[in-house]
Structure 1
Amino acid sequence: MALTALALCTRALLKIGAAPITSLEDGTAEAEVAASLYAGARDALLSCHPWSFATGQMALGRLEAVPLSGFANAFQLPADLLRAVSVAPRAAFRIQEGRLLTDASEATLTYVFRPAEAEWPPSFATALVARLSAEFCMPLTESASRAEALYQLAEAELRGAKLADGQGQTPRAITHFPLLDVRG
């Protein structure tokens, strides 16, 4: 089954014993809960970690207007930004009013964006389904204890997805550590 919002929501509903849905707009209680909670849960999970499949870089365009907040320059943020990870060259920055503010004269932003569901690795999809089942549990089953158990399972799935994501890249080496320098 292709990864879609509908497929992911249906998997989460089945995990809590609810009826599957055929559309996010089919008028059932399950569809209404799924439609209301899916986007927020998806974006929260994407934003909580710099996932390799959802992290990109972009050279930002400088805006003409000078910011009033003490920074020298303002840059236009990408439309698909969920979370800023870093700015190069390394400089202090702030995101405010939909702009990146910094003293640097140019800026390349590393950021988390929202990729299509079909591009997600299985570990992330499984973590999202676990999170959705926890989110859907209270409104559909009214069982607080079951919802709490599902949240704990969702956290374990998230840890596993983060671990799998981190193993797909070379670990960052510590290039300079002042405490080692003083030991001579």
Structure 2
Amino acid sequence: MAPPTLDTEIDLINAALTSTGNSPITSLEDGTTEATVAASNFDRVLGAELAYPWTWMHATRALNRVDIPSTDTSWRFAFQVPDDFEVERLEHCGHPIPWDSLSDWVVCNVEDGVIARGRWRPPVREWPAEFRAALCVRLEALFLRSLSEDFDKAARRDQDAERAFRAAKLADSRRRSPRRPGTSALLEARRG
């Protein structure tokens, strides 16, 4: 039998539920106890794990300018922020520029060519396999604690999840490439 594909949040939850001896769910709103526990805790558990600066969440987006509403602001131009994108900084011609957030826009004093650098949450199917597997183990611990009330086994699965996330972070760091490869001024001076 082929292993289950973990392409959606429900797939991740069902993998954890079935491995702990619980029944799978069809949606987070299907009314079962399993769905209620998953709906109440999934975003919290996921949010805690996504707080780490995973490289696969870093993104760069060219922003589209929108008409700025009539507000008392010192900023002249507004740009639409894409859905599920958290802006960390704006750049123009490779240089950081001052900016502010206004609703689902960012505002600045540069008219065009504004690039946003930040984090976004890609679809589950695009998450690295190591991360999805570690998240399943973390969810197993949750379900063992809340549904099966097997606290000892839940504690062991939490330890397994910690090991799995350490391995996922190591794999992620090995995929990371330098942002600006090159030599430093000190190395250039030493080389002559």
TM-score, structure 1 normalization = 0.71
Question: Does residue 98 of the first structure (1) align with residue 101 of the second (2)?
Answer: no
- The alpha-carbon deviation at position 164 of structure 1 amounts to 1.2
Aligned partner of 1:129 in structure 2 is 136
Q: Is the 8 A contact 2:68 2:76 kept in 1?
A: no
Write the distance in 2 (CA, Å) between the matches of 1:10 and 1:141: 15
Aligned partner of 1:12 in structure 2 is 16
| Structure 2 unmatched runs, 5+ | none
- The alpha-carbon deviation at position 151 of structure 1 amounts to 4.3
Opposite residue 112 of structure 1, the aligned amino acid is: R
Opposite residue 64 of structure 1, the aligned amino acid is: D
TM-score, structure 2 normalization = 0.69
Aligned partner of 1:2 in structure 2 is 5
Pick aligned residue for 1:108 from 98, 115, 120: 115
- The alpha-carbon deviation at position 71 of structure 1 amounts to 4.2
| Structure 1 unmatched runs, 5+ | none
- The alpha-carbon deviation at position 147 of structure 1 amounts to 5.2
Pick aligned residue for 2:169 from 162, 165, 183: 162
Range that drifts further, 165-174 or 125-134: 165-174
Aligned partner of 1:62 in structure 2 is 65
Aligned partner of 1:21 in structure 2 is 24
Question: Does residue 35 of the first structure (1) align with residue 42 of the second (2)?
Answer: no
Write the distance in 1 (CA, Å) between the matches of 2:102 and 2:48: 19
Write the distance in 2 (CA, Å) between the matches of 1:155 and 1:104: 44
Cα RMSD after superposing both structures: 3.5
Provide the aligned length of Structure 1 versus Structure 2: 179
**What percent of counterpart residues are identical?**
29
Q: Is the 8 A contact 1:85 1:111 kept in 2?
A: yes
Question: Structure 2 vs 1, CA of residues 87 and 28 (structure 1 numbering), >3 Å: closer, same or farther?
Answer: same
Question: Structure 2 vs 1, CA of residues 116 and 145 (structure 1 numbering), >3 Å: closer, same or farther?
Answer: same
